[in-house]
Structure 1
Amino acid sequence: MTVPIETLINDMGKLFEDRSTKLQLKRTFEARRWQTNETFEEYFYDKTILSGKLCIEETELLEYIVEGIPDYGLCSQAKLQCFRDKYQLLEAFHKISLPKPATPKQSLTVRQNTSNEKSTSADFVVSASTRCYNCNSLGHVAAECRKPKREPRACYVCAQMGHRAADCSMRKTQVHYADAVEGDNEYNH
């Protein structure tokens, strides 16, 4: 064992001292999730100690440990691996740490690169070609849109119901196909 004696004594104390009801223990066990300020090993051993009080089988414990991983990508990877025992899971995740949550100041900063991309608070990159579902403009997402929220199925240009953006009279660059066919267009000389 590589655990210091003080930690082992504290863990054994947790295992044998608590006189909570089974329901309280189950709720505590199910609510226990991997935190960003701890290693996977610490989370794993704490969850295992809590499961010892409830007499949970190892296969069920594996599912609970994986469900306690808050990062969707890591949780999906753990599910895809189909670990046979808890120590395989521990070995696979012992060097992995959770990504730190973005601070509000970090979420608004623009990265210095050639593609003119910026990082948002949702931990994904918004490029100049990203289109907003609210106003149909480029360069931001609907969550960051400053325009009033558009009703579902309303026109992207004028936000009115009853027509599409392609047929909107407020649209700046409407193409008149009759003019193009007749040759009245300034580009057909």
Structure 2
Amino acid sequence: MLSKEELIKQTAKELFFSKGYLHATTQEIADAAGVNRSLINYYFRSRDLLFQTVYREAVDGLKLQLDKVLYDKIPFKEKLNLFIDVYMKELMKYPYRESFLITEICSKNFALKEKKKSAALAHFLQEIAQEMEKGTIKKGEPIQFMFNLFALMAFPVIMTPLYQKLLDISKEKYNKLIADRKQIILESIFN
């Protein structure tokens, strides 16, 4: 059984990142969690601090999973396959996290306070450069490769509501299209 603090965090994460209630109030979070709003203030002092806690835990959890993949000593294609699996699984679980992050960065700039570079990402960029030199993937700027990789993974998920409406696609069909993304991404990356 979750503690009240964990229940509040899980509920906030669900509202913010899974359901897309980007501006859920402390009262809405309390109601969804089935707790008194004063409990949120007791544990977190404000919605912003609750969000920062939930966001940091979500990002740290994803970073831990991705870093493990990036440092894994497996062939590059296998590594990329696993990286896409981990990222897309998390993205499908929390489809509004990226949108929420962008909204918060633009409005409060809190997420940009950390300027610590990711050693795992730097390692991966070097690996990308090596694969480019080998001819496994198209030569270019490794950062552009990363831009393309994340765009191929995240953009269709972030744009789900618009694409479903614009293209008149059922949720089931759209989920199938998203599930097919990994193979399409891998085919578009490797020479």
TM-score by length of 2: 0.22
Report which of the two has the higher share of helix. 2
Relative contact order, CA 8 A, sep 6+: which one is greater? 2
Question: What TM-score comes out, normalization by structure 1 length?
Answer: 0.22
